[in-house]
Chain A
Amino acid sequence: MWYRIQSRYAPYLFIAPFLLLFALFWAYPLVQSLRLSLYATSGPESQVYIGLDNFRFLLSDPDFHLAVWNTLIYALFVVVVQLPLSLGLAVLLNRPGLKLRNVFRFVFFSPHLMGTVFASVLFGLIFAPRFGVFNRVLHLLVGLPMNTRWLGDADLVMPAIIILSLWLNVGFYMIYLLAALQGVRPDLYEAARVDGAGSWTRFLHVTLPGIWPVLLFVLVISTIGAFRVFELPWLLLQSTTGPDQSGLFIVTYLYQNGFEAADLGYASAIGWLLTAGVMLLTLVQLRIGGLGRGGES
């Protein structure tokens, strides 16, 4: 009966790679980053203990404030615009008897295949003034001037970033929501119809509760994703923060401080404030989402 002994130790062996890697590349750096956040550094070799000065300076640092503000605006739009769009497309695709469903699903998903990096390079040209195809289309449709500078005008940078983000991600989150919609039991709709509920009422009372856990999941991960935004604006704006710092986000600021100015301590402090913000927001979202709907799952 040696398999009994074996099966007692096997799981530890199987989980060991995770634990080892976790300890080395997650737990240890996490502790280190707490320590680093209390130091002023100039690369790994010169470090000076400064207590909570990094955090104190962050709280009064106008650039950090701007980065937080931009990130909040971006996250708000991503959630408020993207989620309904994804849900809308999913609902359309879920209509019974729809032809070419898989084709449409693939089409809507295809931008996501490009990935942030390559899409940013592409849209750098699509948004170009004077010859960019984005201006061309808007020029034909609403008479927008051809020399509109989406990436050179401080007021237009954020809309451009949000447009690209929507293009990339709407179809991706749609896949989740569509699968959730397909999982709602058809007899519930039938029952609601018999009760004389209109389509809107049915959506509110049958569809929404049915997909609530997935919706909440999508909400949480897209919010976390939005707070971590870096590559998209950084590459779209050719490794800058754009005119008037309009493309400065929290992680951008972290990258600039840590790896361009070589102050790993300040970067760690930024990272910790970001973490605190994200965790707080996630908790709030889960709390409200869970309480409001009687806590499925």
Chain B
Amino acid sequence: MLLYTCLLLASVVMLTPLVWLIAAAFKQGEDFFVYDFFPPPQRLSLTNFRSLFDQLPFLSFLVNSLFVSSATVIVQLAFSSLGGFALAKYSFRGKRVVMFLMLSTLVIPPEVLLAPLYELIYRLGLMDSYRGLIAPHAVSVFGMFLFAQSMKQVPDDLLLAGRIDGCTEFGLYWRVVMPVSRPMIGAFCLIAFMSSWNSFIWPLIVLHSQDNFTLPLGLNQMVGVYKEDYGALMAGTLLSVLPVAVLFFALQKEFVAGLTSGAVKG
């Protein structure tokens, strides 16, 4: 019984802010301060969402974020799985060097690169563009480790059989290895999507015009625009979290498997 009491208590602590967020998004005007959580049902309203779309280019923030994050994930997926495949199933000269380089990126905090990367993006003429936003993150070292780990389990015989059947090396990757790695792909997509969806400092530095802003930047701006409107701010926050939540529900199983396998088996 004590066990369940502890768990329940912990659940309440974890969920209270989320419940409060949902309540705040649906409260109108003064109700925001009058009721701590939900007002009586008949006072719930969608005004916050309406003013969110009326006062701010919220929809364009949302579209920008969806584009940037999904494009980043697709590109990362392609490059990382290819790299992972090479590491898992081939022996080639310089493999150890590659592994060492990969490890170095995990230990060196990327913030040390912010200033020179900014300079580089500026010199490449990519300021305020999505190319400048996505390019430096086009490959995920974490993803390469993840895929290398899972692709090691593909039997060599399977690849050999494919080769004898006249399959190209890329064909092996696409038709044999990738389908087998499907759970890992799901997990990677979610993790990569989450990190891109929430990324703040790099877009903050690269993007300048409001038209290009992603959700984190846009929401950060909402504070102080026209009327100070906490209700709309919370409605915006709720809508911003929704896509990640949807993706998570769809990929829950793969996610847990993927997240833990890297650590536990490695």
Contacts and interface: CB of A to CB of B under 8 A. Distances in A.
Interface string B229-266: 01001100100110011001000100010011001101
B40 interface: no
A12 B114 contact: no
B17 A118 contact: no
Interface in A111-166: 111, 113-119, 121-123, 125-126, 131, 133, 136-137
Contacts of B90: 7, 10-11, 14
A18 B78 CA distance: 11
Contacts of A179: 256, 259-260, 263-264
B92 A11 contact: yes
Interface string B13-24: 111111011001
Contacts of A267: 114-115
B241 A113 contact: yes
Nearest to B122: A44
A55 interface: no
A153 B218 CA distance: 28
B139 A171 contact: no
Contacts of B66: none
Interface string B57-83: 000000000000000000000111011
A108 B264 contact: no
A112 B71 CA distance: 22
Most chain A beta carbons < 10 A, residue from B13, B17, B79, B112? B112
Contacts of B248: 113
Interface string B104-135: 01011101111111111011000000000001
B88 to A, nearest CB: 10
Contact of A98 (B3, B119, B260): B3
A230 interface: yes
A265 B119 CA distance: 11
B118 A258 contact: yes
B209 interface: no
A116 B200 contact: yes
Interface residues of A, number: 87
Most chain B beta carbons < 10 A, residue from A21, A117, A123, A275? A117
A200 interface: no
Contacts of A255: 114, 201
Contacts of B178: none
B198 A115 contact: yes
A259 B115 CA distance: 8
A271 B33 contact: no
Most chain B beta carbons < 10 A, residue from A10, A36, A218, A255? A10
Interface stretch (A26-34, A56-64, A191-199): A26-34
A29 B116 contact: yes
A10 B114 CA distance: 33
A268 B102 CA distance: 22
Contacts of A98: 3
A114 B22 CA distance: 13
10 contacts: A22-B101, A25-B136, A117-B220, A118-B198, A126-B17, A167-B17, A175-B256, A176-B264, A231-B201, A264-B118
Interface of B: 3, 6-7, 10-11, 13-18, 20-21, 24, 33, 36-37, 78-80, 82-83, 85-87, 90, 92, 95, 98, 101-102, 105, 107-109, 111-120, 122-123, 135-136, 138-139, 141, 144, 163, 166, 168-170, 173, 194, 197-198, 200-201, 205, 216, 219-220, 223, 230, 233-234, 237, 240-241, 244-245, 248, 252, 256, 259-260, 263-264, 266
